[in-house]
Each structure stands twice: as structure tokens, then as C-alpha cells.
Structure 1
Amino acid sequence: MNIRYAKDLDKDQIVSLWNYCFEDGEDFVKYYFENVYDKNNTIIIEENDDVLSALQLNKYKIDLRNREYDVSYVVGVSSKPEVRGFGYMKKLMSHTLEELYKNGEIVSLLMAIDYRLYKRYGFDHCYDQIQYNIKTDDLSGFKVTSRLRKVDFKDSKLLAEIYKTAMKSLNGYALRDEAYFNRFIKEIESENGYIYVDEENKSYISYYIQGDTFFVRELLYNNISSLKSMLAYIYNHNTQCKKTVINAPVDDKIKLIIANLKTCEMKLIPFMAGRVINFERFIESINLNNIEKGQIPCESVKINVIDKYIEQNNSVFEISIIEDKIKIEKVKDNHDIELDINSITQLAFSYLDIDEIFMLNEIDERCLASNQKRLLNILFEKKVNYIDELV
């Protein structure tokens, strides 16, 4: 067994393995392996020149609490059927986590088909979306107030500007530039989808028509007038699409303007998992710019971090804020609180707050002094997370 980065000669086998494991259409697979796949970001297990397991580490930048992080988004985790149940995935994931730490990454992302498979490796749920299931006819009360047009590649800059504005109230989102949107347009087209823009109101919608369903992949708007106009645009498909499905951030406003919520089904959809790769560097990187000096307690807290796969995270860390700077060091003292890397991850991604972590882990909050708990609340502030990257 040999675990290594892929070479040119491995690509055909990796494509074949992807096709066996995932139900993606031929056009999407062609798009992915021509536009996204990079052998230098692909880790495989091979025996006798036979690729048995593989995954990709696609590169993104995300914004967590107004701090930019380079992340590897783990996708395409796959194994041939004849080696499943023999520990290949464990070896592949263990090696990958070691590589991410060695390469200086602080956090990582993963879209889990089954969370049970990845929680054991420290990846845990950090992102949700709302999914609306609406009868298209129920959007009849909205009126088109501005004209939409289909985008082409010259619109990548405009789409990037719209996206940046729409993300201002959100956390954990991928940073997207013009190059990203050039690729995004290709991705949507590879699945026979469409992107239309409301240039006047700086909004856009990407969607697919799937049988009798109008499926909205992403609808980003910057005022309610534009949102209503977009919903009217969807309604104008009512003769061909009887149902409408819209995926949206959890703070989305559609639920506030639908005429009759009783006929609209809303689901909370688990979307993305995250993981802290380097706990010490994450704490050092936290942005304190919005914290007033008087709010910072003169107290330290000692956290015993439990991480079964990245040994460097296994330690007692003493954390304090001195002169507006975070100080963290490994100590041999007794700890104030013990948290596993899964809980640390959900705090770090601002998905849960410290009270929720105490409740879920049945931790008696009296183990901490009030100033210690206030310090943790400053370090781990809950936010509204959003991400919509699929590969």
C-alpha cells in the first residue's frame, strides 16, 4: 500500500473511481476534471499501480469573523468496492489530516454524505441552509419590477460585486473573485442550468429546471424589491414548473414575504462540515478588532483539547488576552475545561456558542469563573454561517 499525491498517469483511474462512487452526469464530471481537478491536490492509495482510494483537497479562501483563511475543501472521498471495510478510508483521512497540518492550514471544510463517517476524524457540522418547497402558483402575488438578463462571462465582475455585498451579514462564506465566477458559470452550464442577473438592483439567481420543478441553487439579493421581482420571475415559469425549491441562507427573508406560509414547506438542510486543523494557530488568528478594551476580562482559561488524529492539538492550552493581543501557550497545569476537536470546531466556525457546547457535553458551567466564560464568549462568538460551494 502506498499513499501519495496523484500523478498524470493516475487521472483516468481517479475519474473512473469518481464515476463509480458518485451519481454525477457526464457533463458535470467533464467540467470538474477539466476545470477543478488538480493532481497536486489529490491524495490516493495505490497498490501495484491500481488506484484503490482517492480524495481531492480543493483550494478556497473563506471569511471567518472577518479573518481570511486558506482552506482545503475535502471532496471526492472514494474507495473501490473491493477494499471497503478494510480501513483504507481511515488511512487516507489520517494521512490527509497530517498533510494539512504540515502544510500550515488552520481550518478545513468537507461536505459529508453521512456525518457518522467523518465525525470520528474531527469534522463536524458547521453550516445549514433553509430549503423552501413552494407551489409555483403561490408566487402569483409578486410583480416583475426590473428586467433580468442571462449572464455571460463578461458578467463575472458584476456577479462578484453582488456576491460580496450579499455576504456582509454572513460568516464562513467562500471568497469569490472574477475567476471564481468564470468557473461558476461553467459549472452551472455543465448541469444545464441558468444564471440571470438583475443589474439594476444588483441581484442574481442561478437555477435548474428539473422536470416540473424550478430548483434555485442560489438567489442573492440586496433589497426586498429585487427579491419580490425574482420571485415573480420564478412564477412566470408556472405553466412548465408546478413546484419551486429554493435553497437559501438561514437568515433569508423569503419566509417573511410569502403570502401564506401554511402552503410553504421549510426545511433546515445540513450543508457543510468543518474542522480545526491547527488549534494554536486558530486562536492566534482570531480577529479582536471589534472588541472594546473594557470588554476584555483580565483572566486566562486553560483548555484541554482532545484530538485523536492530529497529535499536535492534544495538549492543555492556556489562553489570555494581553494588551489587545491573544496569548496562547501549551502548559502542563491542570485544565479548567476539556473539549474534543469536534466541539472546538463548532465554536471556531461560530456555529455554536459556549453555552450550547456546555449543554451538549453536559459540562457544569461552574467549572469556570464568570470572567473565564466571558473570555470564551469573546473568542467564540456565534454567527450566521453560509456557504454554497459544491466542489
Structure 2
Amino acid sequence: MHVETKPGDFGPPRDEQELAAAADIMMQSYAMAPAAATAWTQRVGRESLRLLREGGHVAGTLVSIPMGQWYGGRDVPIVGVGGVGVSPIHRGQGTATRLMQHLLREARESGAPLSTLYPATQPLYRRVGYEHAGARYEVRVQIPMLDVSERTLTLRPIEAKDEAAITACYQGQAQTRQGWLARGPYVWSRVYVPRDGTATGYLVEGDSGVQGYLYVVRKSLAGWKQELFLSDVVATTPAAARRILAFLGEHRSLGTEAVWYGGADDPLLMLLREQSYSVKLDMHWMVRVLDVAKALEARGWPAGLSGALHLEVQDALLPENHGRFVLEVSDGAARVKRGGEGRLRLDVKALASLYTGFHSAEALRRVGALESDETSVRSAVSLFHGPQPSIRDMF
């Protein structure tokens, strides 16, 4: 029996009927086949789905994914957002904005200081406080040009018993990469079973244990050719990096390109003899600061650097973030307290770009997203300096 709803009613699906409604919205929002939309809702699970009910009907849906993101070598809890969709009959009425507002309040109450997403459209997410915070790049390497030779390490198929070692191997790399995800089960499932097929895993190991791995999906092309899509690739030693590249090169008789995602500064590319590869922007991702003080205290900071910033933050949606804060950094950690002189003024969107290191305080000032005195700008440039943020995974 259908349950009557109140305007703005937000939460997980209550029954099979609402689960089917979520699948229908996904089908119509993203041009998915009906079977694919149903399979998607089942894979996501009720506990991750959120629905907005208006006028007695399911008006919108999204996926809320608790996980983490590495900033300054620390795992900062985040709520990832995906699969945002609105029923065609509810569009143009502010439904998507209300859906996101409900999600942000829930996410803040969960204790997560940040929310991260890939935008299908930017105006919606900027209206609720998200801003560009990093980039995901597509790397394409020409397999016939791979002439790396390496046989000192063993490469074998991954087995179930290797799961813990692989997780540790990934984490060892991710924590050194600004913005990479601290993966949970949902994101790891996308590594094992990407949208375009099931991946085959290979482990690289030597006398010291696991030193790397890769997951490969072979995509058939015309004329018996194939493209190798790597849903994940990690090398923790130079020998492991060379062994992985040698393995890919051994596919040169039929392989055209090896493709993976990550940062534009992928160190694997340094091992190639020529620039026989392309690096192309795939998408900018966005961050929303849910809790200013908690976010600033959760991330890591440059070791050996100390300083203080007097911030003034504007946040029209979450009044708890609105006002002045003093950020004090020393010994790689931060302490935040209310008050101060508000010398560096910005809204919560600009704070997201500054927080991840995607844009410097100077760059934000040049486009009018930040106002400050020279001393505070120089301090902010130093404190938030770091490698460009990127993410390997889509979610």
C-alpha cells in the first residue's frame, strides 16, 4: 500500500514501490536501460539511497556514500554523492536544490566535515555551496611503444587471500596523493566490477611481499585489436612500476592503448622513453565544506610549518559555518577557534577550493572569490600549498 508523504520528506526507500520509483528516475535522468537502472539500485542498496518525496510521490533520488579522502596525509571523512536525479514531472520547480539541501543537512549531522561529488551540471551544486576542488584525468599509453623490460618480480593472478594486502598497498599510495579516496566497499566494488565489465586482477610481488597490482578490463576493438582499461593500478617500488609497464607492453601484438584515470602527474609516465601517451582532463570534481572547524582540524598540514589565519566565512545554507574563525597550524596539525579579526574573507565555495589546494589564495583573490590583506594571502598560500588534488575513482 502506498504511504502518503509530506512535502520535503527525505530518507531511504520505504518499500519496493519506492525502490522501483528510484530506478525509474535513474532510467529517465541518465538514459539507462530499464534493466540497468534496476540493477544499479540493487547494487547501491537501500541503505545508501536517499529519496525526496513531494506531493505524495518520489520526486528525486541520490546516493549517499560515506568514505574518506586523503588531505595532507590524513584520512578526512566525507560523504560522497552520486546518482542525483529528479523525476521529469518535478523538474524546474527547485526539487534538485531541495534534495541537495536535505542531503547536506543529513551529511553534516553524520559528523562528516566534507562532501564530494562529480557534477553532471555545476549551477545546481554551486547553489548549495560546492565548488571545484580537483581534477580527474584520463591517461592513454600506446602499448606498442612500451619497451620496458623487468623480470625481477613475480606477476600472478590475484586471489581472494590477497585482499588485505591489496587494500594496504592502495592505501600506502593514496595517502600520499592529495584528494584520493579512502575507499569503502562501494568504491572497491567499482574497481572489481567497473561499468564496462569485470576486471581481472594481477599482483606484483617479490621477496619483500606485495609491491603493486593492477585490475584490467580488455575491451574488444575492430580487427581483433583490444584496449586495456585499468580500473586500478598501483606500484609502490620502482621495480613494481617497471614490471607493470612490461606486462602491459607484452600485449603489443593486439593491444592498442592502456587507459587509466588519476592525476596529470602520474609518476608511471616518467618511466616511458618517449611521450607516447596523452593526458586529458576527464572532469573536475567538487567539494562542499560541511563543518569549517572540523574540516580544517581533520586534514594534515605541512610538517615544520606554523602560522595562523583569521578567516571570515559566508555560508547561506549552513549558518553554523557562518562567521569568523582563527586557524592555528603547527607540527602538521591545526586548531580552530571561533572569533578573530576576519582578515581573509571568502564564502564556503571558495574555501573548498582553498582547502584542497586546487586554487591558491592568490588565485582566488584575482577572480574576486577572496578578499584579504597581503600578509594573510601569503600565509594562506604557504599553509595550503601541496600537490594538485586528483581522484582515480568515479562514484
With structure 1 as the length reference, what TM-score do the two structures score? 0.83
Closer, same or farther: CA 135–63 of 1 in aligned 2, 3 Å: closer
Aligned partner of 1:228 among 235, 242, 245: 242
Closer, same or farther: CA 257–51 of 1 in aligned 2, 3 Å = same
Identity in percent: 16
Is 1:347 equivalent to 2:351 in the alignment?
no
Name the counterpart of 1:238: 252
Shift of 1:15: 2.3
Contact 2:62 2:83 in 1 (8 A): yes
CA distance in 1, matches of 2:141, 2:392: 21
The aligned counterpart of 2:103 is 96
Q: Trace 1:131-146 onto structure 2 (pairs within 5 A).
A: 131-139=138-146, 141-145=147-151, 146=153
Give the counterpart letter for 2:337 in structure 1. I
Structure-2-length-normalised TM-score: 0.82
| Deviation readout 1:231-278 (Å, 9 max, x if unpaired) | 2222333343323323233331233222221x4322233342211111
Q: Counterpart of 1:199? A: 205
- 1:329 aligned to which of 329, 334, 338: 338
1:125 positional shift: 2.0
Choose which of 266, 273, 276 in structure 1 pairs with 2:286: 273
- C-alpha distance in 1 between matches for 2:34 and 2:149: 38
How far apart in 2 are the matches of 1:101 and 1:57?
12
- Displacement of 1:229 in angstroms is 2.2
Kindly state the Cα deviation for residue 219 of structure 1 after the two structures are TM-superposed.
Answer: 1.4
1:3 corresponds to: 9
Q: Which moved more, 1:228-237 or 1:380-389?
A: 380-389
Q: In the alignment, is the contact (CA less than 8 A) between 2:70 and 2:175 conserved in 1?
A: no
- Once residues 161 and 356 of structure 2 are traced to their aligned partners in structure 1, the CA distance between those partners, rounded to angstroms, is 34
Q: Aligned-residue CA RMSD in angstroms?
A: 3.2
Change (3 A) 1:31 1:190: farther
| Secondary structure, aligned partner of 1:339 | strand
2:270 matched residue in structure 1: 256
The answer to whether the 8 Å contact 2:346/2:371 transfers is no
Answer yes or no: is 1:381 the counterpart of 2:349: no
* Cα distance change, pair 327–143 in 1 and its aligned pair in 2 (3 A): closer
Q: Deviations for 1:135-194, whole angstroms, at most 9, x for unmatched residues?
A: 32122x1235244222233221121121122234212322247x6787456534982322
CA distance in structure 1 between the aligned counterparts of 2:382 and 2:367, rounded to whole angstroms: 20
Aligned counterparts of 2:25 and 2:98: Cα–Cα separation in 1: 18
In 1, distance between residues paired with 2:186 and 2:33? 22
Q: Is the 8 A contact 1:214 1:244 kept in 2?
A: yes
**1:37 aligned partner:** 45
Paired with 1:183 and 1:144, the residues of 2 have a C-alpha distance of: 30
| In 1, Cα distance between equivalents of 2:107 and 2:29 | 24
1:54 is aligned to 61
Task: State yes or no: 1:66 paired with 2:73.
Answer: yes
Indicate how the Cα distance of structure 1 residues 127 and 330 shifts in structure 2: closer, same or farther if over 3 A, else same: same
Q: How many residues align?
A: 377
Between the aligned partners of 1:181 and 1:203, the Cα distance in structure 2 is 19
Unaligned runs of 5+ in 2: 1-6, 222-226
- Is the Cα–Cα contact under 8 Å of residues 97 and 309 in structure 1 kept in the other structure? no
CA contact (8 A) 1:156 1:182 kept: no
Identify which range, 195-204 or 16-25, moves more after superposition.
16-25
- Report what 2:306 is aligned to: 296
Correspondence 1:357 to 2:361? no
